[in-house]
Amino acid sequence: MKKIFISMLLLLAFMAAAQAQAPKAQNTKELWIENGSRRIYGELFTPQNAKADGPVAIIAHGFNGTFDFGRNYFDVMGRKGYRCYTFDFPCGSVRSRSDNNTLNMSILDEVSDVKAIVNHFRKQGHQHIVLIGESQGGLVSALTAAELKDEVSQLVLVFPALCIPENWRQRYPRVEDIQDVTELWGVKMGRRFFEEIHDMRAFDIIGRYRGPVLIVQGDADRVVSMDDSRRAQQLYRPDTRLHVIPGAGHGFKPNEFQQEMEQLEQFLQADYDFVKGADVGFLTGQERRGVVFYDRNGRERECLELLKNDYQMSAIRMRVWVNPRGGDCDKFALLAGDCVSAFPHKCGLTNVPIDTKKRKKLGESLASQKKECTFAQSY
């Protein structure tokens, strides 16, 4: 019975990947991304209203799927100004343009591929990145978000097959039971695929991502249990959305897919319009006392640059005192410290020194010139 269930899981995932695909849209181009020796083929859609450093959606297909299905997302994402990158996992499908040798299919390699794609777009200046994954691509996207954490702005899981590791443990209880080649519905998979996930506990991993999450699933899904999606919802942060589509299975019909798009549009709008900020009023005092800030990789970074680029913060709260004790939060710190460093163009500046003493001199100069900063007037 378990064997039949596993076969049915992959069959339905295959059928879901083969569902109706949107035609190629305008404003698209082929884009190859390197991940070590792996070359990832994909299609980048850029809407006319896209900003140079605007948000990007990375769309991951399911088992034996291809990049084509991701075109279905272009319309909704484009209206929101999102670029979309839909791609073929190397070895992820018999029709993959990246590499169609499915004997080398690997969940861990696919996680590595998504990380490489995120890194590619972040290097291009795109800080707001959304991962969208369907079925097996949902598992991969969830695992990737758990690793990258704050580098992923939002996560969308569509009938996510978080059950894959557990299902295959039922098929192969012991590692020594795993066959060299397992063929399912014309797709040959090598031993490595099963060895790597044999001891994986997906539900112990995915909750490490603490950003906003949307999960969409049908209540007639015979592949992914609703209990799994409810469990995932509890592992993510409290405002995680689980939208259940009545009667939908593993793969949505046109009217069901429209429901998904409506939920996706609301989800994107709600979080992307939310202002993220921090109180940095005492930053110059902290710097003077030798406080140093580091990023997640242990590299020393300037605090505001770190908040702005790594944590997507777009607002700061400042304070200024007439006669501050210890000299913290005076007008010089306000003018030449945090505000100017974060938004130098507002004061007509092109280069602001990080050194605290040099910044204080700059503040004195600005004050003597009675130079106004448009953003500082309301504080």
DSSP states of 34-93: EETTEEEEEEEE--TT--TT--EEEEE--TT--GGGGGGGHHHHHHTT-EEEEEEPTTS-
Residue 296 has a pLDDT of: 66
Mean pLDDT of 234-252: 93
How many C-beta atoms surround the C-beta of residue 353 within 10 A?
A: 13
Mean pLDDT of 140-144: 98
The domain segmentation of the chain, as residue ranges, is 2-272, 277-368
- Band of pLDDT at residue 275, cut at 50, 70 and 90: low
Of 4-18, 196-210, 249-263, least confident by mean pLDDT is: 4-18
Residue 15 has a pLDDT of: 44
Judge whether residue 225 has pLDDT over 70: yes
Which residue is it, tokens 């404003």?
27
Q: List all residues 6 or more positions away from 121 whose beta carbon is below 8 Å from its beta carbon.
A: 56, 58, 85, 129
Q: How far apart are CA 25 and CA 76, in angstroms?
A: 13
Judge whether residue 289 has pLDDT over 90: no
The amino acid sitting at 29 is K
CATH topology of domain 2-272: Rossmann fold (3.40.50)
Phi, psi torsion values for 8, nearest 5 degrees: -65, -40
Residue 11 has a pLDDT of: 42
- Band of pLDDT at residue 286, cut at 50, 70 and 90: confident
- DSSP secondary structure code for residue 249 in this structure: B
Round to the nearest angstrom and report the end-to-end CA distance of the chain: 67
Judge whether residue 53 has pLDDT over 60: yes
Q: In what helix (H) or strand (E) does residue 17 lie, and over which residues does it extend? A: helix 2-17
- For 62-112, the pLDDT digits (tens) are 999 999 999 999 999 999 999 999 999 999 999 999 999 999 999 999 999
Q: What percent of the chain has pLDDT over 70?
A: 73
Strands 56-60 and 38-45, by their bridges, are unpaired
In Å, how far are 282, 303, 318, 336 from 278, measured between CA atoms? 11, 11, 9, 18
Q: Is residue 141 within 8 Å of residue 57, measured between CB atoms?
A: no
Estimate to the nearest angstrom the gap between the alpha carbon of 192 and the chain centroid: 27
Strands 213-218 and 241-245, by their bridges, are parallel
Mean pLDDT of 167-181: 95
Residue 299 has a pLDDT of: 81
Please give the mean pLDDT across all residues of the chain: 82
Estimate to the nearest angstrom the gap between the alpha carbon of 112 and the chain centroid: 13
Judge whether residue 150 has pLDDT over 70: yes
Judge whether residue 138 has pLDDT over 60: yes
Residue 242 has a pLDDT of: 96
- For 355-374, the pLDDT digits (tens) are 555 555 555 565 555 444 43
Q: C-alpha angle 256/224/92, rounded to 5°?
A: 90
Estimate to the nearest angstrom the gap between the alpha carbon of 185 and the chain centroid: 31
Q: How far apart are CA 136 and CA 156, in angstroms?
A: 13
Judge whether residue 283 has pLDDT over 90: no
Which span out of 147-151, 156-160, 272-276 was modeled with the highest average pLDDT?
Answer: 156-160
- Band of pLDDT at residue 269, cut at 50, 70 and 90: confident
